[in-house]
Amino acid sequence: MAGPRIPDYKIDLENRVEACACFRQQGFNDEGSLEIFAAVRYRCPALNQIFVPDEVWPDFQQWHLEPDNVAHHRSSLLLALGRGYLGRVTSPVHRYLILEGRPRQEVRRQYLEDLRERWMLPLDPMERNKRYKRFSGKLVELQVAEWLEYQGRRVSGLEALREGPDIEACAKDGRATAFEVKYIGTEDEDFALILESLAGGPAIRTVSQYDAANYLLFRMYEAAKQLERLSCDRIGVVVVEDMAWPRFDSPLRNGWVEWKNPKFFPSPPCSDAWKQFFTDKVRPRYPEIENDLEPALKNLSAIWILRKSGSYEYHREIEERIGSAD
């Protein structure tokens, strides 16, 4: 699928990232962090044009002047700056979305809206968690695209810039692949436990690993459905953040998900929560999902499961070849 030309990777990093304050700034202790962030933001178009533009900046500042004593939420950008890896957050935005200090004309409005870092502004911590996952999901797409370039592929298209799959990239031999990326952050149930623990209450609950296996399979099915009309190689990618990883570690290590012969675990052994989620959220969107699960996944060339660390490093934990392009 044709799209706007994305500039050469090496040239872009040299001219737009390493020369930017966001890439040079090292970590620091917490004192004066908002003032340091303000100075870096002033000189960084990824920050002042995309993440925290002028219309967001006053609310962003005000929120961080009043500590959050309930969920201890804080801007992911501010944390990344303090810990010395802000460049890992801003680098793909510089590369793909910024041109001559301004957002590229092709950047889709929804991406601009979702990448504004204002997820922390609602009073309800649970609502913040939902909005953070939406914010992170868009950022993860761009970071995975950049990660693919480090693996030797050349990104030729992004959903951030045009309609189509999340990422299109070419291998060194010129073979094109479409990628659909699904992000799994901290689930609301887990976040509720974190809040309870922070408040001094008990935070012990058994997590159903059967639910986790089913949810992972469902997200890969979503990716497969979004790619099914394409004729090139197709790879479904699920990115799991570190805090959510314990839910999925054992099912993945022990091969509970049979990607070439996929089936959902029934309830029981799955929990009532999964049964309700499937009834309320999954079946209305995909009424034939049980019969369609195997054919849909067989349309994928491969499935990848990536793990995202808290410092925005990506590791491919699972890679399995499924089918081939038409």
The 10s digit of each residue's pLDDT in 77-101 is 998 998 889 999 999 999 999 999 9
Check residue 235 and give its pLDDT.
97
DSSP one-letter string for 240-252? EEGGGHHHHHHHH
State how far Cα 117 lies from the chain centre: 14
User: Which amino acid appears at position 219 of this protein?
Assistant: R
Q: pTM for the full model?
A: 0.87
**Cα gap 211→218, rounded to integer Å:** 10
Check residue 302 and give its pLDDT.
96
Check residue 178 and give its pLDDT.
97
**Cα gap 291→131, rounded to integer Å:** 33
Distances (CA, A) of 123 to 127, 130, 191: 8, 13, 15
**Cα gap 315→304, rounded to integer Å:** 10
Check residue 1 and give its pLDDT.
43
**Cα gap 239→312, rounded to integer Å:** 11
pLDDT tens profile 241-271: 998 898 889 999 999 999 999 999 988 888 8
Number of residues in the chain? 326
**Cα gap 289→315, rounded to integer Å:** 30
Check residue 205 and give its pLDDT.
52
What is the Rg, in whole angstroms, of the alpha carbon atoms belonging to the chain? 20
Check residue 28 and give its pLDDT.
67
* pLDDT means over runs of 10, the chain (326 residues): 43 52 73 84 96 96 74 77 91 94 94 93 82 92 96 94 95 93 73 34 60 91 95 95 89 91 90 86 92 95 94 93 68
